[in-house]
Structure 1
């Protein structure tokens, strides 16, 4: 099967560029290429599209492999970069490799060109997969994979900053009532869809400066920043109940959900972010037991289904 490959050729000699293309076509590649020989032309080519490989001569009247490599490093590209030169000493070749070039070849011996490109494409794919895996690990350290909301680690960091600012703020612990019954009744997929939709509705109710995070499977934390009185948190909590009250239409299923909210505010004088989390969660649990509304504890929805 013919494999298409997009190559940026940094070369002032058209014949040399065509020889490289012919060599790759003989190796069963369908080559799409552009030839450039100045820094301006290379910048334009890099901005026009992504390239699979960059092949470059070492020295040209208006450009060089060193300058081309510097441009690639400046743009933080991980495109395989191979120097193909008419004459290049071992010392220069080693320096290029240390500076970031992936390989070098001599123009009079292109038999290694296709294998070198194949190897570099394979290694570039491995590097890309490794980078994506590391980025996912970093993301999951501070974000919930299902909803994309900040997670427990992130919200505790935000609470530490709020405590240091000495502004008035409130923490609302939000729990989806009887989530386990919903999960067993409608299944895993529908229950996860419900969590996503609940997160979306809660986000839509936020004010500038508010911060929403997902703490557990069916638990959310909302930080209301720079409030004047805890009554503002109570008002916002009642509004969130109204937001969650309408049924959720999930691909043919209609699911009703209600929430219970525990509230604590900064006037309690907690010094640690975990105390705000525990205080708001305990307020929610107290509400489940008693059903009452208290200033620094819990607000239970009169709209709950």
Structure 2
């Protein structure tokens, strides 16, 4: 598709006239808000009934129709049928709450441009752009087809109404006969042509070729041109060269060999053919661009769907890298993201033939013109363009920076560089196309939104499983993790240690120094406990001043030793509050292990709590190994305990 045509038809700066078929005003407002967030200037009308729909279509002109699939007394597909009945070709997009796969396929077959689920309205601007671009392409193809038909009609009229010239020559190439059409085609009178050599009607460069070819034919019978259909250049009396379509036949008249040619002036037909060929070439280019655009749209949608299912940034970066290699196969690039302090951009994804130093480039936001301006920055000529300061070296071709924005904040920059053509370093490839720039903008929008959503999900998950004061896991996560680890270790026939620890005299500490000081102690204790855990250990705040440590694959003795180290090391903990060093703290701890003290989470926690209570009762600042308690659930399968030598689980 011609980039200029697409840009004209999907220019978000021009008002977008939208007819919304929806019975929910809040849903309609969400749709308008999504379009406006994407940069569209929307002028919208809202209808609910078929009568209102018909009246609006009769009174106004719309660029696109957005319809709900299910309405109280009719459906979105009814609206599409009514639109077709009224003879209007307007892109029609379904925006609905739910739509099954079979229904979606049927809607597309019936002529729906696209469909967007209301729970995924972020796709709506992309669907609208694609629907508008597809309409523009249909109109362009219709215009091209009409131009082609008109060209063919002109050609048929020329062929059906043309008067052909008849010219007869003898073996010496003397003209024996001409008709009136020959006078019209060549500009000579009949008297001026009769008796003259046929070379009179030929350009200078063809005359000797004709004489030599005729002589060879008379001597050998070999023809130097196709007699049935030849296209040659003739010469008008005015000196103008004309294109001729000629066919020859040989006759013997009164014992003399003669040659008659049927000659047609095909100058106009040749021009029409050239125009037709040009139109066909332009149509093929547009079809090719449409196919490329469809492929790119499919890849972008696939990338978006994969990004929505990613669980962490590393998975997202892998998806972005693989997708970028397909979307920009000839343009190496880098995705830079702002760090947590938002003062530096660091490379997160690198693809293509990027220079080795691309993975080490770190720069400030003000070093990129795209981030400064808040919009795409394209440098076509690296010799004269305004270069960003983050480039490690001057690029040998054009480059493009696209700011990645989501939820009103900058997340990073999409950087693309176009490699130079071989032996033509001054002529860049790829990025000179506006379509490639628009693709980069679309990829940046999808990527920014997906990464922002992923970060939001991570924050929500952290809030749901972390204690906000200490940063340790909360009790709910501890209970879920303990159940999971017990099942996993039972299958692998491995043990597990559990420490329940309590801060001694914390109530009196709170009463004497205040709750803020107590919170400071709890926060520092959380950091202390976290700093003394292995990667596989799970440290949790159980409640109040109680903490729990889950030690996968640790024996009872190892767990007890770990608890003793915690008890000794905590005495060295230096806690300051309001510039003063707070009194040292001590810990009371209860230690149990799986399977010695039970095989369920509930049993182990009861045993650890009982041991902690005993440690408190014996004077605090000590470690007490728990006693087995009665199970509340049926006994485990025999292999759970059979896997462990008596008293020596791993």
Task: Tell me if 1:180 matches 2:507.
Answer: yes
Task: Tell me if 1:296 matches 2:615.
Answer: no
Task: Tell me if 1:42 matches 2:370.
Answer: no
Q: How does 1:121-132 map to 2 (within 5 A)?
A: none
TM normalised by structure 1 equals 0.58
**Which residue number in structure 2 is paired with residue 236 of structure 1?**
562
Cα shift at 1:160: 1.6
Change over 3 Å in CA distance of 1:259–1:294 after alignment to 2: closer
SS of 1:264's partner is strand
Q: Provide Cα deviations, 1:183-240, integer angstroms capped at 9, x if missing partner.
A: 121112211111111122222222343221111121110112212x312111111110
Tell which deviates more after alignment, 203-212 or 142-151. 203-212
From 144, 156, 159, the equivalent of 2:482 is 159
Change over 3 Å in CA distance of 1:10–1:270 after alignment to 2: same
From 582, 590, 615, the equivalent of 1:254 is 582
For these two proteins, the number of residue pairs brought into alignment is 214
* Paired residues of 1:211 and 1:222 also in contact (CA < 8 A): yes
SS of 1:215's partner is strand
Cα distance in 2 between the residues matched to 1:158 and 1:249: 30
Task: Tell me if 1:221 matches 2:567.
Answer: no
Q: What 5-or-longer segments of structure 1 have no aligned partner?
A: 14-37, 53-59, 80-127, 298-305
From 435, 447, 466, the equivalent of 1:75 is 447
Q: Answer with 1 or 2: which has the greater Rg.
A: 2
Change over 3 Å in CA distance of 1:224–1:131 after alignment to 2: closer
Cα shift at 1:132: 8.3
Q: Provide Cα deviations, 1:54-95, integer angstroms capped at 9, x if missing partner.
A: xxxxxx96133751443124423389xxxxxxxxxxxxxxxx
SS of 1:256's partner is coil
Cα distance in 2 between the residues matched to 1:206 and 1:11: 50
Task: Tell me if 1:62 matches 2:469.
Answer: no
Higher relative contact order (CA 8 A, sep 6+): 1
**Which residue number in structure 2 is paired with residue 204 of structure 1?**
531
Change over 3 Å in CA distance of 1:71–1:40 after alignment to 2: farther
TM normalised by structure 2 equals 0.29
Change over 3 Å in CA distance of 1:74–1:39 after alignment to 2: farther
Change over 3 Å in CA distance of 1:213–1:247 after alignment to 2: closer
Cα shift at 1:280: 1.0
* Paired residues of 1:205 and 1:243 also in contact (CA < 8 A): no
From 353, 360, 374, the equivalent of 1:7 is 374
Q: What do you get for the CA RMSD once the two structures are aligned?
A: 3.9
Change over 3 Å in CA distance of 1:150–1:245 after alignment to 2: same
Cα distance in 1 between the residues matched to 2:568 and 2:623: 17
Q: What 5-or-longer segments of structure 2 have no aligned partner?
A: 1-370, 381-396, 413-430, 628-650
**Which residue number in structure 2 is paired with residue 245 of structure 1?**
571
**Which residue number in structure 1 is paired with residue 603 of structure 2?**
275
Change over 3 Å in CA distance of 1:5–1:151 after alignment to 2: same
Cα distance in 2 between the residues matched to 1:213 and 1:236: 16
* Paired residues of 1:194 and 1:248 also in contact (CA < 8 A): no
SS of 1:262's partner is strand
* Paired residues of 1:213 and 1:222 also in contact (CA < 8 A): yes
From 191, 194, 197, the equivalent of 2:518 is 191
Cα distance in 1 between the residues matched to 2:553 and 2:457: 36
From 274, 285, 302, the equivalent of 2:613 is 285
**Which residue number in structure 2 is paired with residue 99 of structure 1?**
none
* Paired residues of 1:169 and 1:266 also in contact (CA < 8 A): yes
* Paired residues of 1:170 and 1:264 also in contact (CA < 8 A): yes
Cα distance in 2 between the residues matched to 1:245 and 1:152: 25
Task: Tell me if 1:138 matches 2:461.
Answer: yes
